[in-house]
Amino acid sequence: MRQAAGLYYNKESVKGYYSDLRHKVTGDILLDDKGVPINITNKGYTVYFAITIFQYGLGSYDLYLETKDKQYLDKFYNSVSWALSAQEDTGAWDAFGWCNPDAKYSSMAQGEGASLLVRAYLESEDKRYLDAAKSAIDFMIIPVEEGGTTLYYPDGGLTFEETKENRTILNGVIFSVWGLRDFCIVSKEDKYKEILKTAVNYLCKKLPIFDCKYWSSYDLDGNIASPFYHDLHLEQLKVMYDLFGNEEFRQYREKWLTYHNSFIKSKRAFIVKAIQKLRVIENEVALVK
């Protein structure tokens, strides 16, 4: 399912979310007895996946803004309550420990968790949520080599790492930026504003590396984006241009949209992606043997 730009976000304040996550709530969702989303692994284990839970909460909040139906506000707070209870003392959430104990943390989880908690704070004026959002962002901006999720470059740039398994995943960087933006709006601290400005400008500088000349890349490891993620990149860049005004976001969105609309380039992307998936499967089989 296509994940379009959010319908209810505001350029000047924190309102709806920047990506339309309503389908994360209205679709076929597994919930525990507290109304918190759960995932079932291919081995049959029940997992509380932070990103799923945060996106469920953000989608619920958009549905509440849309309908004013209290059931969606309740669903939103189910995710918020889980976020508070599952947050570690460091401010981190264990996003990937269930599948990779050596690389548990994710800037995307930290950013989306912060976005969820900032909205809870603005809705309720409960300072616990603001404090938890600050802890989430403070952990996110710790350098990767010190256990955090921010990669600092020698030239003064920085980017956010969704997972230590891949090198800078484009959609994850943007979800992380949105969480930092939300916190900047409510905190008004210059420290975070400077980090946000640096991250946005450095992303603009790096956008050419994500351009395959016929499609967008999923990450900096050379993995091409699937059709879903290419579409998501288009929607995210649309929002980024709307929020920050950097011309690079508009230019690359327009360029990648021409790739999307080209039969030849889209088919080439499909073939390359299929080959990459086959290689992954072959490597997994080799590991099993």
- Given a cut of 70, the residues of the chain with pLDDT beneath it are 280-289
Per-residue pLDDT at 234:
98
With respect to residue 167, please indicate whether it lies within any of the assigned structural domains. Answer: yes
Per-residue pLDDT at 289:
31
Cβ proximity of 189 and 141 under 8 Å: no
Q: In the chain, helix, strand, coil percent, each to 5?
A: 60, 5, 35
State the total domains in the chain: 1
Domain hosting 275: range is 23-288
Instruction: Say how far apart CA 35 and CA 82 lie, in whole Å.
Output: 10
Cβ proximity of 150 and 159 under 8 Å: yes
With respect to residue 5, please indicate whether it lies within any of the assigned structural domains. Answer: no
With respect to residue 143, please indicate whether it lies within any of the assigned structural domains. Answer: yes
At 16, is the secondary structure helix, strand, or coil?
A: coil
With respect to residue 1, please indicate whether it lies within any of the assigned structural domains. Answer: no
Read off the CATH number of the domain in which 214 is found. Answer: 1.50.10
The structure tokens 């901006």 sit at 141
Cβ proximity of 172 and 163 under 8 Å: yes
Per-residue pLDDT at 154:
95
Q: β-strand 39-40 against 46-47: which pairing, if any? A: antiparallel
pLDDT digit string, tens, across residues 127-183? 999 999 999 999 999 999 999 999 999 999 999 999 987 789 999 999 999 999 999
Tokens of 133: 């959002």
